[in-house]
Structure 1
Amino acid sequence: MNNSIDATVLVVGGAGYIGSHMVKRLSRSGYHVVVLDNLTTGNRSSIKYGEFIQGDLEDKKLINSLFSQYRFLGVFHFAAHSLVGESVHNPSKYYSNNVANTLNLLPESVKPAPTLSLSPPASTF
């Protein structure tokens, strides 16, 4: 696959363990990858492929700007909080990030991108 605007994908949470492996795989498969991560639990040094943008799904202007600047073929969302014990003690943190922030991403994701993959990190183990 060649690196064209039609082969650009967004990986939200791409600086985390699972997200960074997805970024590597997509890049090696020929996709142009844009990584969006707020580095709350991710690590900047994990991003060895793609284009990095530090930001948060809470920032609707940033999300709109990204979708105006790029025509994403797909969006992968790995930016959910996933610690069960913490979610019981601090449910508003989990609601805010996992529900409200995801809802900020969805309207833009379904316009130009035919594929959206939601994958909280803990669901893969």
Structure 2
Amino acid sequence: MTTHPPQVIATLAALQLIARLRDRHGPLMFHQSGGCCDGSSPMCFVQGEFILGDHDVRLGEIGDAPFYISPAQFAYWKHTQLIIDVVAGRGGMFSLENGEGVRFLLRSRLFADDEFLALQAAGRV
């Protein structure tokens, strides 16, 4: 069995917000926005209320919510571990945390060479 580092993780603050949103709205999902309305914010939706593209990549799960990214964004971010955090501010226009006084924020770190090789061996990049 090949092990590899997770491609997306969440801070404790993000996990706590995800739990609150899940309690209020039910099962959730995330999509890493790449674009127009909300910049490059991680967007949180009720599971099934965001239509995924045929080639969107499922990076993993955070707080029991699947996390997807578009192929173009994946090509850009594949060398990094995405770290979903929470900061003060207004949430994305269509994201469930809008109105909470906080928003999800994308942080990242480059994978070490051995981590990236493990991801390649697992067919994840």
TM-score, scaled to structure 2? 0.26
- Structure with the largest fraction of strand: 2
